[in-house]
Amino acid sequence: MTEPAPERPQESPPLHRTAHARTEEPLPLDGTAYERPQESLPLDSTAQLLTRITAALGTQLSLVSLNGTRRPMHRTPQQPPHSNVSPLIPAAPALVAVAHGSRDPRALHTVTELLDRVRELRPGLDVRLGHIELNEPLLPRTLDDLGSGEAVLVPLLLGRGYHVKQDIPEAVAGAAALRTRTAGPLGPHPLLVEALHGRLTEAGWRPSDDGNRNSAVVLAAAGSRDPESAAGTRRTAQLLSERLGGVPVVPAYASAATPTVPAALRALAARGRRRVAVASYFTAPGRFASAAAAEATWIAAAPLGAHPAMARLLLHRYDQARAAGAPAHETLMNTRFLASA
């Protein structure tokens, strides 16, 4: 007779779940009681659960001040619409571009275009214009309009001549309430050479002209009796010659210095240079620039004008003056001329 099979004991549910374990919800932050998930928790998750409970309690306690009241949530201050200036950082000094002025209507248009490029490169910067003569606004009027604020004057002048040493300081002295610094003139500087090279290329200078035994350049400048101004022009001519592969670059002047542009052209022709370009070392169109271009026997470049390198150079001189000068709030009038570097 066959014995009946022994009954198998009823198995208990497993204590551990090895797959598809439900992730516990963190402790609610609204103060309600913690609800245990419907499914049984694995025993080996107890430490993790305690860690999460502790972290959640810490978050809740951080919102309660010592007197029992709830702390406000930290929020980043919002800037007003269309504002690029932090309320914690004082506004930068205004940039006052100081132009010579010209009876040629193209000059004012060119300078305005240049300053628009500066504004594009430095949004939010207060950029203003003042003229030494011939055009409005004149520099004293521009400085008066600034009142008792701060300004960095950037001469749109290529050398350290009379206007930089006399006219600009006199205008600054008349604005006693304004805190100012004055940057050095634009030249000499590699960015000027970049602009000169760009204008020559636009006029027809080709890479094959670089280092060519038949090529040369006359660097036509306004001219000055100041030896520092003349030295700066010679330095710019040297830098441009290096940029053009060593072709001769001869400074020549429209007034107050020699040689003149026609004389420089004749001298280069006598040396066998048949492809002689006239580079315009003027910031804007005017009588001198037009007269120099008219003497060209081959190509004549346009004035420096609103070339992108010029806008970068203006901001470089502005930043240089801010970095090198003493803080503007230390004196009512602190005028510094920086070395042309």
> Are 100 and 207 within one domain?
no
**What pTM, to 2 d.p., does this model score?**
0.71
> Are 317 and 293 within one domain?
no
Instruction: For residue 55, give both structure tokens.
Output: 């972290």
Catalytic sites, residue numbers: 100
For residue 231, being part of any structural domain is answered with yes
Q: Is the pLDDT of residue 20 over 70?
A: no
For residue 50, being part of any structural domain is answered with no
**Confidence at residue 194, expressed as pLDDT on a 0 to 100 scale:** 99
> Are 300 and 202 within one domain?
yes
Q: Is the pLDDT of residue 55 over 70?
A: no
By the 8 A CB rule, do 299 and 278 touch?
yes
**Confidence at residue 233, expressed as pLDDT on a 0 to 100 scale:** 97
Q: How far is CA 256 from the centre of its chain?
A: 35
**Confidence at residue 161, expressed as pLDDT on a 0 to 100 scale:** 82
Q: Is the pLDDT of residue 272 over 60?
A: yes
**Confidence at residue 32, expressed as pLDDT on a 0 to 100 scale:** 45
**Confidence at residue 50, expressed as pLDDT on a 0 to 100 scale:** 60
Buried b vs exposed e over 178-203: b needs ≥16 C-beta within 10 Å? bbbbbbbbbbbbebbbbbbbbbbeeb
Residue from 89, 92, 63, 281 nearest 193 by CA: 281
Instruction: For residue 332, give both structure tokens.
Output: 């009512």
| Average confidence (pLDDT) over 285-296 | 98
**Confidence at residue 28, expressed as pLDDT on a 0 to 100 scale:** 46
Dihedral (Cα; 254, 164, 186, 233), 10-degree rounding? 40
Residue from 3, 6, 60, 2 nearest 28 by CA: 60
Instruction: For residue 318, give both structure tokens.
Output: 């502005």
- Give the residue, 26 or 60, on which the prediction is more confident: 60
> Are 265 and 234 within one domain?
yes
Instruction: Kindly give the interhelix angle for 190-203 and 227-243, rounded to the nearest 10 degrees.
Output: 60
- Give the residue, 58 or 238, on which the prediction is more confident: 238
Amino acid of residue 213: R
Strands 150-155 and 179-182: parallel
Q: Is the pLDDT of residue 60 over 70?
A: no
Lowest mean pLDDT, pick from 12-26, 187-201, 263-277: 12-26
Transcribe 63-81 into DSSP letters.
TB-TTSPBPPPP-PPPPPT
**Confidence at residue 167, expressed as pLDDT on a 0 to 100 scale:** 92
Amino acid of residue 340: S
Peptide bond into 188 cis (omega under 30): yes
> Are 124 and 269 within one domain?
no
> Are 178 and 198 within one domain?
no
Instruction: For residue 262, give both structure tokens.
Output: 């026609």
Residue range(s) defining the domain that contains residue 234: 190-305
Residue 125: give its domain's CATH number: 3.40.50.1400
The total number of structural domains in the chain stands at: 2
Q: How far is CA 29 from the centre of its chain?
A: 48
- Give the residue, 116 or 177, on which the prediction is more confident: 116
| Average confidence (pLDDT) over 66-75 | 50
> Are 283 and 214 within one domain?
yes
User: In Å, what is the CA distance from 166 to each residue of 273, 288, 313, 334?
Assistant: 40, 22, 23, 15
For residue 295, being part of any structural domain is answered with yes
For residue 340, being part of any structural domain is answered with no
pLDDT digits (tens, 9 = 90+) for 228-269: 999 999 999 999 999 999 999 999 999 989 999 999 999 999
Q: Which residue has the tokens 């000094």?
A: 93
**Average pLDDT over all residues of the chain:** 81
> Are 268 and 205 within one domain?
yes
> Are 297 and 198 within one domain?
yes
